[in-house]
Structure 1
Amino acid sequence: MTPAHSRPGPEAPRRSDARRNRERLVDAARAVFTESGPEASLNEIAQRAGVGPGTLYRNFPNRQTLLAAVLRDRIDTLCGHAERLLTADSPDRALAEWLRAFLEHARVNQGLGGSLLLDEPETLGLDCHRRIEDAAAALLVRAQRSGTARGDLAPDDLVQLVVGIALATVRVEDAAQPGRLLELALDAVHAAPRPA
């Protein structure tokens, strides 16, 4: 009789397959939610991922857990971009580039985040907001130390400013307006503070 510890088993491939299925589901959900919003068909997501509905529900028991996974994936991408920009030559340009990416993130994902916060705020948690604020802080502090960003600006103020632009431009017909508003905000980031 072969000892249990030396028997080859299908466990590793199944875990690998399960991981790939989960990644495919998140990728498909990202695309479908972008096209159709947070109420998109879960069956459509499973179909695009090339798996059955049972596989979707084994990985994500409800819509909120899938929304949270997509939003966390997008936040991972956004924060990874911030980390890479910390080594850019110009702290000023790095901050501006990341704020443009954050504005796009906020505009695309507000429906996902809003849906989660309304339905099940504990699913999303505060970790996502904290990670975004930490990314903004790292880039802002670097620009402040180089003397290109005003020293009295707090990271949370910067995050709220960009979120405000995203919310204010949800239904505008002028597609260039969010970018113009961000450029005005960036002018304020680099302006000297006004005397009291």
Structure 2
Amino acid sequence: MPTVEKKLDDQQTATAQGPREAAAPKPLRADAQRNRDRLVEVAATAFAEQGVDASLEEIARKAGVGIGTLYRHFPTREHLVEVVYRREVEALCAAADDLASHHPADVALEQWMQRFVDYIATKRGLAASLRILFNTNSAVFSDMSGRVSLALRQLVEAAVAEGSIRSDIDASDVLHALGGIYSAPDTKDWRDRSRRLVKLLMDGLRFGAGKGGG
């Protein structure tokens, strides 16, 4: 059985080649799937709070598994980064449908944009490794960014149709405004400031709307 040290020695070679996707992965046992899901969940929080250099040993410890288990699921750090990135995008897109089915359209849009702040926080933490992944697997980014744009467009168009935000708004304008949050300085109060900016953005979107506008 390969040792942890051997896996670490192989990491640089695997990184240069980029994360590999198995064509037809075997289904995991229930306990193995739980371990994998927990590792991804803990890694997402660690990367958002500490950046992509967060300790893999600490991620494994907080997930309640050994470092060998982490490397069995994710042979390289970049592999783990890609899985975390996909998870964050999928959760963000799923939230759009869930919020739209439980709230008025403008409320669903505002709550989704607040979740977008958390998504950006994780993406900022992954930035260095995401640049490496972009060079080795750019299809991941075109697919994921397209899904986020579609989710936002559906929410914006629903709110326009409902009359709860201005009709002269395009989803690309909203995405451009949200993009400014990503480039804001990484201060301790970044999330709080970003959430306030989302509220200000929604005030602007609602102003002059056919329903509930100023």
Same fold? TM cut 0.5 = yes
Query: How many residues are aligned here?
Result: 181
Question: How far, CA to CA, are the matches of 1:181 and 1:63 in structure 2?
Answer: 33
TM-score computed with the length of structure 2 as normaliser: 0.72
Unaligned runs of 5+ residues in structure 2 are 1-25, 210-214
Is the 1:107–1:170 Cα contact (8 Å) retained in structure 2?
no
Equivalent position to 1:85, from 92, 95, 99: 99
- The structure that has the greater radius of gyration is 1
- The 5 A counterparts of 1:1-196 are 15-112=29-126, 114-121=127-134, 122=137, 124-171=140-187, 173=189, 176-192=192-208
Question: How far, CA to CA, are the matches of 1:29 and 1:48 in structure 2?
Answer: 9
Cα distance, 1:174–1:120 mapped onto 2, change above 3 Å: closer
- Deviations along 1:116-166, one digit per CA (max 9) or x if unpaired, are 332221274222211211111111110010112223322222122112124
Partner of 1:5: none
Unaligned runs of 5+ residues in structure 1 are 1-11
Question: Relative to structure 2, which stretch is displaced further, 120-129 or 38-47?
Answer: 120-129
Question: How far, CA to CA, are the matches of 1:65 and 1:118 in structure 2?
Answer: 13
Q: CA deviation at 1:25?
A: 1.5
Give the % identical residues.
Answer: 35
RMSD: 2.6
TM-score computed with the length of structure 1 as normaliser: 0.78
